[in-house]
Amino acid sequence: MTTTVPRPTHERRLVLERRIRLIVTATIAYNLVEAVVAIAAGTVSSSTALIGFGLDSTIEVVSAAAVAWQFTRRDPERWETGTLRVIALAFFALAAYVTATSVLALAGGIDAQHSTVGITLTALSVVIMPFLSLAERRAGRELQSATAIADSKQTLICTYLSAAVLVGLAANSLFGWWWADAIAGLVIAAFAIREGIEAWRGDACATSVGMLLEGQADHDHDHTTRA
């Protein structure tokens, strides 16, 4: 049975819009630092994965900045379609770059050096990014904003990429498996293409891995409350 979610009051919408602006501002600030550190560390260690990770962070900045701009407008809903298209293009750019760098890494057998900075940075991102994604997704769902939900998915995709790069860097350092992060990168690219298509169509409320997990948590909470 389909349940109609009531639209928030005007006062609540203002609170949620302010919250989304704060979240995307934090996301932009973190990703700018992440991009600089990752690209510098990747250059030092000759790591294609780390350099790609840093460039991916700049794509995340574009997506978050588009949402931040939208929610500074007098009527954010009016700009939703255009903002969704920007987010979709960011997904496609991410998929294209990750695919290209992964294929080149596999074809060239690039042997990156150990990078303590890279491992620390990606591990930190695996911890921080899911919280930013979840906070924005919850606010976006209550506000019924497709762009905020789509941007939260972009952040979630970057979490997957952080984990993939972390596994690849660790596997290369520990076992010499230089190809591990390139394979994981191709999987992430497939996710990014899927999410980009959904954002372009305006289907930003479609289920993703993170939303499935959140939905299960909400269901368990409701069941516990009723019990």
Residue 1 lies in a domain: no
Q: What is the pLDDT of residues 121-172, one digit of tens each?
A: 999 999 999 999 999 999 999 988 888 888 888 788 888 888 888 988 898 8
Q: Which comes out higher in pLDDT, residue 56 or 95? A: 95
Give the pLDDT of residue 209.
Answer: 36
Q: What is the pLDDT of residues 160-185, one digit of tens each?
A: 888 888 988 898 889 888 788 778 78
pLDDT band at residue 75 under the 50/70/90 scheme: confident
Residue 177 lies in a domain: yes
Give the pLDDT of residue 122.
Answer: 93
Give the pLDDT of residue 69.
Answer: 82
Q: What is the pLDDT averaged over residues 31-50?
A: 88
**Mean pLDDT score of the chain:** 80
pLDDT band at residue 219 under the 50/70/90 scheme: very low
Q: Which comes out higher in pLDDT, residue 223 or 200? A: 200
User: Residue 37's domain spans which residues?
Assistant: 10-226
Residue 33 predicted with pLDDT over 80: yes
Residue 2 lies in a domain: no
* 132: CATH: 1.20.1510.10
**Phi–psi pair at 73, nearest 5 degrees:** -80, 155
Residue 145 lies in a domain: yes
Contact 24/65 with Cβ under 8 angstroms?
yes
Give the pLDDT of residue 220.
Answer: 46
Domains of the chain: total: 1
Residue 16 lies in a domain: yes
Give the pLDDT of residue 212.
Answer: 35
Residue 79 DSSP one-character state: G
Residue 128 lies in a domain: yes
Residue 212 lies in a domain: yes
DSSP 185-223: HHHHHHHHHHHHHHHHHT-TTS--HHHHHHHHHHHHHHH
Residue 120 predicted with pLDDT over 90: yes
